């Protein structure tokens, strides 16, 4: 009788929802799949449970990473053991150092997921040291082929990469009716609303569109990330004919938000932006996207909308596009068709990539 190989232990050390954002949503999908697999899965949730960074935020993160280190030590006797974790940004990379030091010392295989473009588009000394610590045997999970190429170019130690597109994270089964027939042009922005994510620029774009003679309304959704965002939304509350704020959305309410739109605006200049789920969610319901050329958004959107170059006037460029689409409905419909075709292709590719990823991380 041929002895069966013992299945490896996979330890996930990463932030789970809440709060809900692209990174935590993808991690949750990975954990769900791992728990259904034959390997033993241990999940250590490092989420601080909040967006605003203060003493409570860092206290929660520090406490949860201490728990993570004890789990790493506790399971170190296993012969076949892997750690999946997310490469942090900013001060969060310090937590990565602690986990990777322990993991390397105790013989864990490493799977590092890169959700941010900041340290890949531009070399970061801390990230360089972290990837050197991870070693050449670590597997680096990235969001696109261009991201993989940039990572290898920026950090020669990143020898092994896997592309895992975010498209499969979008729940297409709950999209429902995809008709977009409105009496006015409905623009939308959903994110953790802040100046960096383009809140003020989206508001300016709507005002410019109305000034240009278009019948337009901006629908905003998502939590207010800071005091400046709270002030911006407060200033527009009395203009219900032009603006609507729906707050944080989940499930059917979130799906309805995208179904209510004609065009999704994403004028972000957030330095960590890579492959935003909200852009994919818009594409999934055939909503063309007008976004800034940040991170890997250009590669993601393709011909499903318009990418505004950095340094350009986003509102001015967006209004010209909206006017063109208004005067030429066939051109607008073409953009919608491209959304459908591109998202379906990305979704299929993402499913295949996810199968390869699961096989790599769960097979002894």
* Beta bridge pairs of residue 218: 187, 243
Please determine, for residue 88, whether its predicted confidence score (pLDDT) is greater than 70. yes
pLDDT in tens, 276-324: 999 999 999 999 999 999 999 999 998 889 999 999 999 999 999 999 9
Contacts of the segment 146-152: beta carbons below 8 A, 24+ positions apart? 146/296, 146/299, 147/114, 147/117, 147/120, 147/274, 147/275, 147/296, 150/120, 150/121, 151/114, 151/120
Question: Which value, to the nearest 10 degrees, does the dihedral of the CA atoms of residues 18, 281, 198, 315 take?
Answer: -170
Q: Confidence band (pLDDT; 50, 70, 90) for 8? A: very high
Report the predicted TM-score, pTM, of the whole model to 2 decimal places.
Answer: 0.90
Q: How large is the average pLDDT for residues 99-114? A: 97
Give one DSSP letter per residue of 93-131, joined into a string. HHHHHHHHHHHHHTT-EEEEE---SHHHHS--HHHHHHH
Has residue 5 got a pLDDT over 60? no
Q: What is the pLDDT of residue 104?
A: 96
The pLDDT of residue 303 is 85
Q: How confident is the model at residue 183 (pLDDT cuts 50, 70, 90)?
A: low
Instruction: Give the C-alpha distances (Å, rounded to integers) separating 348 from 142, 165, 283.
Output: 17, 10, 14
Q: What is the pLDDT of residues 27-64, one digit of tens each?
A: 999 999 999 998 999 999 999 887 677 788 889 989 99
Q: Right CATH number for 173-345 from 3.10.580.10, 2.40.50.140, 3.40.50.2000, 3.30.70.580?
A: 3.40.50.2000
CATH assignment, 9-164: 3.40.50.11930
Work out the pLDDT band at 3, boundaries 50, 70, 90: very low
Q: 9-164 with 173-345: one CATH topology?
A: yes
- Tell me: pLDDT of 332 over 60: yes
pLDDT greater than 50 at residue 4: no
Q: Is the pLDDT of residue 74 over 50?
A: yes
- Element (DSSP H or E) covering residue 361: helix 329-362
CB-based contact 204:169 (threshold 8 Å) = no
Residue 176 pLDDT level (bands cut at 50, 70, 90): very low
List the domain boundaries for the chain: 9-164, 173-345
Distance CA 185, CA 210 (A): 10
**Beta-carbon neighbour count of residue 305 at 10 Å?**
25
Q: Which pLDDT does position 172 carry in this prediction?
A: 65
Give the per-residue pLDDT at 323: 96
* Higher pLDDT, residue 112 or 178: 112
Percent above pLDDT 90 for the chain:
82
């Amino acid at each position: 009788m041929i002895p069966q190989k013992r299945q490896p232990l996979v330890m996930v050390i990463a932030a789970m929802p809440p709060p809900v954002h692209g990174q935590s949503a993808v991690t949750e999908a990975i954990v769900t799949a791992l728990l259904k697999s034959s390997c033993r899965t241990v999940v250590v949730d490092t989420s601080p449970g909040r967006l605003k960074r203060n003493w409570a935020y860092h206290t929660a993160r520090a406490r949860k990473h201490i728990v993570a280190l004890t789990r790493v030590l506790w399971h170190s006797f296993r012969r076949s053991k892997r750690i999946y974790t997310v490469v942090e940004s900013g001060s969060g990379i310090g937590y990565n150092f602690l986990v990777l030091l322990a993991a390397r010392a105790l013989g864990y295989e490493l799977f590092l997921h890169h959700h941010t473009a900041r340290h890949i588009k531009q070399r970061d000394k801390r990230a360089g040291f972290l990837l050197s610590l991870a070693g050449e045997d670590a597997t680096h999970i990235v969001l696109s082929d261009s991201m993989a190429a940039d990572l290898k170019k920026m950090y020669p130690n990143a020898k092994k990469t896997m592309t895992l597109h975010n498209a499969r994270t979008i729940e297409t089964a709950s999209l429902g009716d995809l008709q977009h027939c409105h009496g006015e042009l409905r623009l939308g922005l959903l994110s953790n609303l802040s100046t960096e994510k383009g809140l003020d620029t989206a508001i300016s774009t709507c005002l410019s569109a109305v000034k240009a003679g278009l019948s337009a309304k901006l629908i905003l959704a998502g939590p207010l990330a800071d005091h400046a965002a709270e002030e911006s939304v407060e200033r527009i509350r009395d203009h219900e004919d032009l603006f609507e704020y729906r707050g944080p959305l989940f499930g059917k309410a979130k799906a309805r938000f995208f179904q209510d739109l004609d065009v999704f605006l994403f004028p972000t200049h957030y330095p960590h932006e890579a492959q935003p789920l909200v852009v994919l969610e818009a594409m999934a319901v055939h909503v063309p996207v007008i976004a800034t050329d940040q991170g890997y958004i250009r590669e993601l959107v393709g011909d499903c909308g318009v990418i505004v170059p950095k340094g350009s006037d986003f509102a001015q460029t967006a209004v010209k596009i909206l006017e063109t689409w208004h005067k030429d409905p066939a051109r607008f419909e073409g953009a919608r068709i491209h959304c459908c075709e591109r998202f379906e292709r990305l979704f299929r590719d993402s499913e295949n990539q996810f199968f390869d990823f699961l096989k790599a991380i769960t097979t002894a």
